[in-house]
Amino acid sequence: MKVLYTAEARVAGARAGGRGVTNDGRLDVRLRLPKEMGGQGDGTNPEQLFAVGFAACFETVLEMVGKRRRLDASGTEIDSRVSLLRRENGRTRLAVVLDIRMPSIGDAAQAAELVREAHEWCPYADAVRGNINVSLIANGVPLPD
């Protein structure tokens, strides 16, 4: 495979009191536990970073797929929720909900089809496919798994 881009970052101190910095210095975050997990909530956490990355990638792919289909997906907004779940065996797992609003696509079937196709092409969706549950909502309508 041809490498298109490689992101590089360094983390020291883990999620409870660390720092994450990209090699170019453009992203520099304090890593902290959220209040819901006993922290002060005075920084960011890996789930927030994943939520932003997944939504940004998905929206980019959605617009590309829309252009290929001659559909205008401009004005799209995605609310991304990444949950950290405790399994019965004590291990943790992620779950994702992508709530996609496409005001320029009024037809519900067209919106659902566009979101399903973007889900097939998105590198983040591909990376987690079969590993974690990703729920999709297109213009207010939950799509069946």
Domain boundaries, the chain: 1-44, 46-142
Summarised one tens digit per residue, pLDDT across range 97-119 is 999 999 999 999 999 999 999 99
Q: In this predicted structure, what is the pLDDT of residue 136?
A: 98
Predicted TM-score (pTM) of this structure = 0.94
Share of the chain above pLDDT 90, in %: 99
pLDDT-derived band at 83 (thresholds 50, 70, 90) equals: very high
Domain 1-44 fold is: N-terminal domain of TfIIb (2.20.25)
Cβ-proximal residues to 120 (8 Å cutoff; 6+ apart), any chain: 126
The alpha-carbon radius of gyration of the chain (Å, integer) is 17
* pLDDT score at 145: 83
pLDDT at 69: 95
Pick the CATH number of 46-142 from 3.40.50.970, 3.30.300.20, 3.90.245.10, 3.40.980.10: 3.30.300.20
Distance of alpha carbon 116 from alpha carbon 112, whole angstroms: 6
